[in-house]
Copies of this chain bind each other. A is one copy, B any other.
Amino acid sequence: MKPGDSTSVWLQRSTERLDQAILRYVDEQVSVASGLKSAIHYAATGGGKRVRPLLTYATASLAGKELDQVAGLDACAVALELFHTYSLVHDDLPCMDNDDLRRGRPTVHKAFDEASALLVGDALQTMAFQLIAQSALNDAQKVQVITSLSTAGGMAGMAGGQAIDLASVGKQLTQNELEQMHRLKTGALLRTAVQIGAIAIHLNDQEKKSLDVFASALGLAFQVVDDVLDASSDSQTLGKTAGKDAAANKPTFVSLMGLDGAREFARQLHQEALDSLSIWGDNADLLRAIASKVVNREN
């Protein structure tokens, strides 16, 4: 698990590390015998790309230590993924995107019911904050991480972006407006993923700033690629319903600039993300590997 291992082995091992940590924390927190336990397990252990916690781990690895030696890191990575999962479970509900398929399986409200999916999402959000508050970080770090996560999740982040999204169906947005929506809806949490890793290893403000440029560019690239895949792939490859943006008449980077234009834009953002890492030299190879994975992914 040392940063010196080849990046693909590191990514594989870190994903396994995260999956084990998720199981451990969910079992710890959901000790009450409850009908909700299996639904929370189903939602939290459904796989996925785990981009956000991998970004946290990769950022923490900039300190050159093994991940085991970074206090509170696993709890933060799990909290971030649970928070992301909460947003997916709620987004999939009938009153939102009404989606039946997620990560190649029935969505939570399909596998269980709507009430369970609502409660699972609510509980996952709460558990994320609980995990951080009870982690091995020191108090100052906990407050910084909670501030970052709640800012990313709130009206200046995901919730605000979702509200713009709901209000923009059937409208033509400018590129600026579309970028702003996605900086809130998706970008804010990806930035938080990197910030949390930086907080865990006590980086200074200048170092944090250079990583924030990386995370911002990568966050937008992530969404542009999402739009490209939604328009050009099929549901089986994606593990979720393809073509739903066009079907819902939602403005996307593809509807704005065409498939080729969107692909070129993703390439530019990828380059911008890589450029921002130059000060880190080889130490940032894991972040570079994640960026490539995000931009060149097929689902």
Contact = CB atoms under 8 A, between A and B. Distances in A.
Which residue of A35, A129, A156 has the most chain B CB atoms within 10 A of its CB atom?
A129
Given A143-B139, A147-B134, A160-B32, A95 B113 contact: yes
Interface string A18-59: 000000000001111011110010000000000000000000
A114 to B, nearest CB: 4
A133 B147 contact: yes
Interface in A98-143: 113-116, 118-119, 121-123, 125-127, 129-130, 132-134, 139-140, 142-143
Which residue of A30, A140, A142, A150 has the most chain B CB atoms within 10 A of its CB atom?
A150
B125 A156 contact: no
Contacts of A34: 155, 160, 163-164, 167
B32 A123 contact: no
Interface string A132-173: 111000011011001101110111100110111011000000
How many chain A residues sit at the interface, stated as a range, is 35 or more
A90 interface: yes
Contacts of A90: 118, 122
Contacts of A125: 122, 125-126
Contacts of A162: 119
A115 B116 CA distance: 16
Given A115-B166, A118-B90, A122-B90, A133 B146 contact: yes
24 contacts: A29-B155, A29-B156, A30-B155, A32-B163, A34-B167, A35-B163, A35-B166, A87-B122, A95-B118, A96-B118, A118-B118, A119-B162, A119-B163, A122-B153, A123-B155, A125-B125, A126-B159, A127-B155, A130-B147, A130-B150, A133-B146, A133-B150, A139-B139, A142-B142
